[in-house]
Amino acid sequence: MAIVEGTLGPRVRWAFRDRVSGASLPPFDAGNLADHVGDDPAAVDANRTEFAAAVGVTRSHLVSMAPVHGNDVGEVDDPVSGPVPEVDALVTRVPGLALLVVAADCVPVLLGDSEAGVVGVVHAGWRGVRSDVVGTTLDAMRDLGARIDRTRAVVGPAICGLCYDVERERYDDVTAVAPEAASVAHGGRPGLDLRAAVVARLQGQGVATSLHLGCTYESEQLFSFRRDPRTGRHGGVVAWEAP
């Protein structure tokens, strides 16, 4: 398992992992973190257990979601055994909980205000960019006591604008509300750079933002749904450490 990790201030730990190594067999090999793609549940659980340890929590304190490509946010108050349904973001201010976001072309975002003790994760596809799931999540964090000028973000791997060619209608739909997403894909087709749009939204709100890992479509070390329709999901995790 290859992990990149760091902190978003005191007691806020984050990590992203790629697909290399893990318990899953092809076509989900090997580090699949998703429980909705048809992989062996025991393999997914083993991969999640290992990943949770990267931010210092047990598997039972790792909370995931079931994204629907919207902009609803789930607030997590306690460990839950299954994914939080029908949300594309999670927030918490409970120490000792870790929030997981999985993706395979969409943009995963990890957020934290270490002074307020509020963390969040976001899953942003083109629909989420269009409906401002990032802004909705920042509002939810603010409601829990976070200050956006103190909040920091880490944006993980996603399909790049060169590789994400789309029909003109989708291009126009997204770039009308997120012009930073505009790109030209290979062959001169309309393209969307969703990661650029997410970064612009965060920085426009004053959130200090960093990028980690690259294009999911180009890297065989990352899962890509566009490249391999039957595949797993890599992911990111953020945790507010218990004192």
Calpha distance 53→223 (Å, rounded): 21
| Mean pLDDT confidence for 18-24 | 93
Residues of the chain with pLDDT > 70: what percent?
Answer: 99
Contact predicate 168/27, CB 8 Å = no
C-alpha angle with apex 203: 102 to 13, nearest 5 degrees? 45
Residue 24 DSSP label: P
Sign of the alpha-carbon dihedral angle for 168, 174, 179, 183: negative
Residues of the chain with pLDDT > 90: what percent?
Answer: 91
pLDDT tens column, 187-236: 999 999 999 999 999 999 999 999 998 999 999 999 999 999 999 999 99
Calpha distance 126→181 (Å, rounded): 9
Count: domains in the chain = 1
Record the tokens describing residue 29, joined without a space.
Answer: 């090999």
User: Containing domain of residue 226, as a range?
Assistant: 3-240
The CATH number of whichever domain residue 75 belongs to comes to 3.60.140.10
Within a 10 A sphere around the Cβ of 236, how many other Cβ atoms? 30
pLDDT tens column, 159-187: 999 999 999 999 999 999 999 999 999 99
Calpha distance 239→53 (Å, rounded): 11
